[in-house]
Amino acid sequence: MLSLPLSLLLAASTTLAAPTAGTFNILTLNVAGLPAILNGNDIPGDKTVNTGLIGQYFSTYNFSIIHVQEDFNYHAALYETDDHPYRTATSGGVPFGSGLNTLSNFDWIDLERTKWDTCSSSGGDCLTPKGFTFMRVKVSEGVWIDAYNVHTDAGIEASDLTARASNLQQVSTHIKAYSSSNPVLVFGDSNSRYTRAGDIPSIFTTANGMTDPWISLALSGKTPVAGTDALLCENPSATTACEIVDKVWYRGSPAVTLTATQFRYAGSMFLQPDGNVLSDHDPVLVDFSWSLGAKLRLSDPYGGPHGDFFNDLDTLSSISAPAVSTITLRGGNRVDSVSVALTSGQTLAHGGSGGTAASLTLAAGETLVSATVCQGQYSSQTRIFYIEVTSSKGRVVSTGKKTSECMTRTADAGWAITGFVGRSGDEVDRVGFVFSKV
Ligand SMILES: *[C@@H]1O[C@H](CO)[C@@H](O)[C@H](O)[C@H]1NC(C)=O
């Protein structure tokens, strides 16, 4: 065993069956961490002590992914008592940080903090660089979920409503550009209500195909009408029939079915020893189940966080039985592009036009069953240096130069490589594979 070459060990590791289904939960909580002299949030007790208790509850309940907002000046107390293995570094207290952080049992890639394009000076929303965060969370092999934490403009003056609508629109546009074909979770402090005329919380449903589990699970699918009186929530709330501004939206993808199974306002799980609440916001807790797609699945990707995102899932999901007729790889010292021509006529191509082309045209019934990808450093960036794809008849096409950092992914029996997921510019920066059921 110990003398097996690395390539065989890597290949062997991918034959261990990855899970095909699982569960996780998410929590969003505005932790009321503005300096006490600026805003006491009407919460009894000392903010450092209270924040430490919130972190302790995070550990005790072991939520899978937590988004916090207003995590400003008591951040150290939160991370002191929390023990999640993956946590974002703070962007600072007031007035430097956004107050947004993620605490997770899952690792992620591609973390970005984005400032709102618009803020309203009423209510002090322009005093700190409020905005949203984006990250791609790895839940399991081939199960990557784009998680967005948001804290939009507060207040109910006309300028607040305008700024807040702009904030939500900005996230919605980002999802279209960055999360196309991907599962998505948006959870945070939206400062929005369906019942308030002028707010646009429905945008993620109408523009991004997402579901609000408060509506689907607590309201049996009935979206509240804007301008109507909502039942106002107590804090903590004993019912989910009422509306709060802390919200969750989700969607799956052609490769991952995602379903919210339980929706809770979790304030009663976050009390001080004397029974008082720890924040002026009620946390929202949602349980999810996921399963791999029946017709399309993804491998994990390899490579670095550069270039633009690409994902062939949506295109492949629109074709009834996708099959590759020719695969073409361009490269030299590194990989310039990857492409497949499908028997249905489409070509899926990513990267630039440099390098030399190597092609493999498949015979009838021949499929692409395995791929090896190597990464390396070029100009201080991680790029794809080598790619080799093998067909069901054992024929091989490759380009680029091998490095010591390689991964191999093999299709399960009855599945074939039919496309790609990753990032590219003039060259290929990251690549993974889309598998289709044959
Ligand atoms: C938290 O849950 C994860 C699974 O999601 C588990 O691996 C881990 O051991 C748990 N941690 C604690 C402290 O119970």
What's the confidence (pLDDT) of residue 1?
37
Mean pLDDT of the chain: 94
129 CB burial (10 A radius; 0-12, 13-18, 19+): middle
Over residues 38-54, the pLDDT tens digits come to 888 889 999 999 999 99
Residue to mutate (ligand 1; options 105, 287, 290; most atoms within 8 A of CB): 105
Token pair 């400032």 is found at 115
pLDDT for the residue 7? 45
Closest CA to 152 of 106, 104, 203: 203
User: Using CA positions, which residue lies closest to atom 14 of ligand 1?
Assistant: 62
Ligand 1 midpoint to CA 26 (Å): 14
Could you tell me the end-to-end alpha-carbon distance of the chain, in angstroms, rounded to an integer?
A: 33
Helix, strand, coil % in the chain, rounded to nearest 5: 15, 40, 45
Beta-carbon neighbour count of residue 219 at 10 Å?
A: 17
Of 369 and 127, the structure prediction assigns the larger pLDDT to 369
For residue range 322-342, list pLDDT tens digits in order: 999 999 999 999 999 999 999
pLDDT of residue 5: 46
- Displacement of CA 350 from its chain's centroid (Å): 22
Atom of ligand 1 nearest to the CA of 59: 13
Q: How many residues are given for the chain?
A: 438
Tell me, letter by letter, the H, E, C secondary structure of 348-391: EEEECCCCEEEEEECCCCCCEEEEEEEEEEECCEEEEEEEEEEE
Check residue 365 and give its pLDDT: 95
User: How confident is the model at residue 167, as a pLDDT?
Assistant: 98
> Could you tell me the distance, in angstroms and rounded to a whole number, from the CA of residue 259 to the centre of ligand 1?
21
Per residue in 184-236, pLDDT tens?
999 999 999 999 999 999 999 999 999 999 999 999 999 998 877 777 899 99
The answer, yes or no, to whether residue 8 has pLDDT greater than 80, is no
**Coil/strand/helix, residue 138:** strand
Of 351, 348, 293, the closest CA to residue 315 belongs to 348
Atom in ligand 1 nearest the alpha carbon of residue 62? 1
- Ligand 1 centre to CA of 62 (Å) is 6
Domains and CATH numbers, the chain: 6-292 (3.60.10.10), 296-437 (2.100.10.30)
CA distances from 343 to 323, 361, 368 (A): 6, 11, 13
Q: Supply the Cα-derived Rg of the chain in whole angstroms.
A: 24
Predicted confidence at residue 16, as pLDDT, reads 56
Task: Say if residue 72's pLDDT is above 70.
Answer: yes
Confidence of residue 2 (pLDDT cuts 50, 70, 90): very low
Which atom of ligand 1 has the smallest separation from the CA of 105?
A: 5
| Matching residue, tokens 């903010």 | 47
1 against 373, higher pLDDT:
373
**Ligand 1 center to 56 CA (angstroms):** 14
Tell which phi-psi region holds residue 365, choosing left (phi > 0), alpha (psi between -120 and 50) or beta.
left
Share of the chain above pLDDT 90, in %: 89
Ligand 1 neighbours (beta carbon < 6 A) = 62, 64, 105
pLDDT at 6 over 60: no
pLDDT, position 227: 79
CA distance 191 to 231: 16
Average pLDDT of span 350-377: 98
Nearby residues of 264 by Cβ (< 8 Å), 6 or more positions away: 240, 284, 285, 286
